[in-house]
């Protein structure tokens, strides 16, 4: 405000001083009738009255407005500082959460990899066990099939040999041999049919 009054005073004093320096021999102090150069005393009085009026009527509202503005600026600064503190706290909390999230993701990844590895090892072990069982079952089935086929082949060979032997016996044996064989057969049957009571 002091700068404004000084500037205003300079503007008021400029016109009489400029007029005096342009052509007049002396500064007009009290000649109020001089229309070319205004009286400097009147200018000073007018300026003093203006300053008094400004101080009386404008000072209080101006000071109040300036104080209000200062209070608002200080309140805005305090609010900005509070918001900055809150923002820093929120940022720190967000960073902490992100760090915790990264750690949790690393833990989950490790657990998942461990579980996957354990599951793959279990599946491989189970597949090996099934393969060994299937191999053992297949080997047993093959052995049983070979034994069955060998037994069937043996029975077939025995049957063919018996048929051939019977045919050869029939061809080479004559009537006396038939009678002898019949007697031996009957004797063997009678011997098998005896009991101790009949022998006694």
pLDDT in tens, 134-155: 888 888 888 888 888 888 888 8
Question: pLDDT tens digits for 8-59?
Answer: 556 555 555 555 555 555 666 666 666 666 677 777 888 888 888 877 887 7
Q: State the pLDDT confidence band at 197, using cuts at 50, 70 and 90.
A: very low
Query: In the predicted model, what is the mean pLDDT of the chain?
Result: 77
Global confidence as pTM: 0.34
Q: State the pLDDT confidence band at 2, using cuts at 50, 70 and 90.
A: low
Contact 37, 18 (CB under 8 A): no
Contact 43, 12 (CB under 8 A): yes
């Amino acid at each position: 405000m002091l700068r404004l009054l000084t500037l205003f005073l300079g503007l008021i004093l400029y016109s009489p001083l400029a007029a005096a320096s342009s052509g007049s021999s002396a500064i007009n102090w009290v000649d109020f009738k001089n229309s070319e150069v205004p009286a400097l005393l009147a200018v000073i009085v007018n300026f003093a009255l203006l300053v008094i009026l400004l101080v009386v009527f404008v000072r209080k509202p101006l000071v109040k407005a300036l104080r209000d503005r200062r209070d608002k600026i200080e309140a805005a600064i305090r609010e900005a500082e509070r918001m900055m503190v809150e923002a820093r706290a929120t940022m720190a909390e967000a960073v902490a959460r992100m760090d915790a999230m990264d750690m949790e993701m690393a833990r989950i990844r490790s657990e998942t990899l461990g579980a996957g590895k354990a599951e793959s090892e279990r599946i491989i072990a189970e597949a090996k066990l099934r393969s060994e069982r299937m191999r053992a079952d297949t080997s047993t089935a093959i052995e049983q099939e070979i034994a069955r086929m060998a037994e069937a082949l043996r029975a077939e060979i025995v049957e063919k040999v018996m048929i051939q032997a019977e045919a050869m016996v029939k061809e080479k044996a004559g009537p006396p041999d038939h009678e002898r064989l019949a007697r031996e057969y009957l004797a063997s049957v009678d011997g098998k049919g005896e009991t101790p009571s009949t022998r006694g």
